[in-house]
Amino acid sequence: MSNSPLSEPSPPSGLEAAPTRPDAAPGSAPLSSDQEAPTDPESPSALEPAAPGPEAGPPDSASSDSSGLAFSDDAPAPYSGVRRGLLQAGERVNLHGGNGRRHSIRLAPGQVFHTTKGGVPHDALIGQPEGVVVASAAGLPYIALRPVLEEYTVSMPRGATVVYPKDASHILMFADIFPGARVLEAGAGSGGLSLSLLRAVGPAGRLYSYERRADFAQTACRNVEAFFGGPHPAWRLRLGDLVESIGPEPVDRAVLDLLAPWECVDAVHSRLVPGGFLCCYVATTTQLGRTMETLRAHGGWTEPTAVEVNVRAWQAEGLAIRPGHAGRGHTGFIILARRLADGVQAPLKRRRPAPGAYGPDYDGPRPRGVERPDAETT
């Protein structure tokens, strides 16, 4: 999560400066050349799309789907980040040892991956099918597999902490991120969630990502391009503050991974279509409470819900079936709410809040119908 300020940064290579709102404070990021561009998903991208690699090139018998992209049974969908066929030089490969450890290497002719049990020559992997077993000089076996999105997300270079796959998968499902969706993301960080969102919306969608720190934005750009093999045609990575420089485009979904998402509620409400989902990802209970109360006090959202996702591994060997020793506990809270139609106020809750929930010691936002107690009453 990133929410630290920048002082009029210049966009790094491959990035856009976020367009400035008409009512933004002086010194905000300048208007991007893409502000007046059409927002139709099939309009030309401000970023040149990467040429599909050999794995995405359709054979002569290829067909095309409704998006106009060519596909075949022998090649994965373009911009999926998936490769098929024999392992090639320049690819990243994971070596899985018998002890459960995973080593990531980039294949290069003549290179050797060194371990305490001897080396594994890269030439023994280049030209072999995925899933081949190779042995080190001392006979230690390794399974060679291409990294999948989950493995790439947790092992890629990072500046800001990433949204972990267990949370990203929940966000994609419960925020209903669909192919062709127009999604706003604030707090791109290292690009972990951007990868999942881009794969979900596909090349026919749009992802408008905002990041305040130039170094984080550069890291995100490198990570996304490394996974997809080049710039993704659906991605607009903008350098700037969301509230001051939110773009004019309407969006279907919004995901905020910020220190203070409650500060962006009004701005997001002005761009999100009625019925669209807002998802806020926060780390602490203080952030959780402030965000949910701000949404209630705003009145233009459905009653927000919040969850945390915990994952527990299990072992099953013969009669020994039991929970694993390691688990994946708290990483963040996921808050979801849907935008109501313009001019509509959310109905008052019929259930009373817990006694003392909004007592004299509470100084945060108050939903409609919750009176502020008289602090002077004894």
pLDDT in tens, 198-247: 999 999 999 999 999 999 999 999 999 999 999 999 999 999 999 999 99
Q: CB–CB of 206/236 below 8 Å?
A: yes
Give tens-digit pLDDT for 281-323.
999 999 999 999 999 999 999 999 999 999 998 999 999 999 9
Q: Is the pLDDT of residue 26 over 90?
A: no
Assign residue 103 the CATH number of its domain: 3.10.330.20
Q: Quote the pLDDT of residue 364.
A: 80
Same domain, 193 and 294: yes
Q: Is 320 helix (H, G, I), strand (E, B) or coil?
A: strand
Q: Is residue 184 part of a domain?
A: yes
Q: Is residue 52 part of a domain?
A: no
- Residue 197 and residue 254: Cα distance in Å, rounded? 11
Quote the number of domains for the chain: 2
Segment among 179-188, 216-225, 326-335 with least mean pLDDT: 326-335
Q: For 264-299, what is the HEC assignment?
A: HHHHHHHHEEEEEEEEEEECCHHHHHHHHHHHHHHC
- Residue 111 and residue 77: Cα distance in Å, rounded? 31
Q: Name the residue with higher pLDDT: 74 or 45.
A: 74
Final residue before a domain boundary, out of 145, 161, 184: 145
Q: Is residue 82 part of a domain?
A: no
CA dist 271 → 147, 233, 236, 250, 254 (Å)? 36, 22, 16, 5, 9
Q: From the CB of residue 265, how many other CB atoms can be counted at a distance below 10 Å?
A: 23
Q: Name the residue with higher pLDDT: 25 or 183.
A: 183
Percent of residues, the chain, with pLDDT higher than 70: 79
Percent of residues, the chain, with pLDDT higher than 90: 64
Q: Is the pLDDT of residue 107 over 90?
A: yes
Q: CB–CB of 190/160 below 8 Å?
A: yes
As a whole number, mean pLDDT of residues 323-346 equals 91
Same domain, 211 and 115: no
Same domain, 184 and 333: yes
Q: CB–CB of 184/268 below 8 Å?
A: yes
Same domain, 108 and 138: yes
Which residue(s) pair with 211 in the sheet? 239
Q: Is the pLDDT of residue 178 over 70?
A: yes
Q: Check: pTM over 0.95? Answer yes or no.
A: no
Q: Is the pLDDT of residue 141 over 60?
A: yes
CA dist 47 → 51, 235, 355 (Å)? 12, 8, 54
Q: Quote the pLDDT of residue 57.
A: 37
Assign residue 181 the CATH number of its domain: 3.40.50.150
Same domain, 132 and 197: no
Q: To 5 degrees, how large is the angle CA 199–CA 220–CA 130?
A: 55
Final residue before a domain boundary, out of 338, 357, 372: 338
Task: Please name the helix (run of DSSP H) or strand (run of DSSP E) that holds residue 16, with its range, or none.
Answer: strand 16-17
Question: Which domain covers residue 117, as residue numbers?
Answer: 92-145
CA dist 137 → 106, 118, 140 (Å)? 19, 5, 7
Same domain, 185 and 206: yes
- Residue 128 and residue 123: Cα distance in Å, rounded? 9
Q: Is residue 259 part of a domain?
A: yes
Same domain, 137 and 271: no
Give tens-digit pLDDT for 342-370.
999 888 777 777 777 787 878 788 877 67
Q: Is residue 126 part of a domain?
A: yes
Same domain, 130 and 159: no
Q: Is residue 276 part of a domain?
A: yes
Q: Is the pLDDT of residue 25 over 90?
A: no
Q: Is the pLDDT of residue 273 over 60?
A: yes
Q: Is the pLDDT of residue 11 over 70?
A: no
Q: Is residue 181 part of a domain?
A: yes
Same domain, 229 and 110: no
Same domain, 165 and 139: no
Task: Please name the helix (run of DSSP H) or strand (run of DSSP E) that holds residue 238, with its range, or none.
Answer: strand 235-239
Q: Which of 178, 229, 170, 176 is nearest to 202 (CA)?
A: 178
Q: Quote the pLDDT of residue 193.
A: 97
Same domain, 237 and 170: yes
Q: Name the CA dihedral angle for 167, 171, 177, 182, rounded to a multiple of 10 degrees.
A: -100
Q: Is the pLDDT of residue 144 over 70?
A: yes
Q: Quote the pLDDT of residue 9.
A: 38
Of the pLDDT bands very low, low, confident and very high (cuts 50, 70, 90), residue 329 is confident
Average pLDDT, the chain: 83
Give tens-digit pLDDT for 30-69.
333 343 333 343 333 333 333 333 333 333 444 455 445 5
Same domain, 279 and 254: yes
Q: Is the pLDDT of residue 105 over 50?
A: yes
Q: Is residue 206 part of a domain?
A: yes
Place of tokens 């009373």: 352
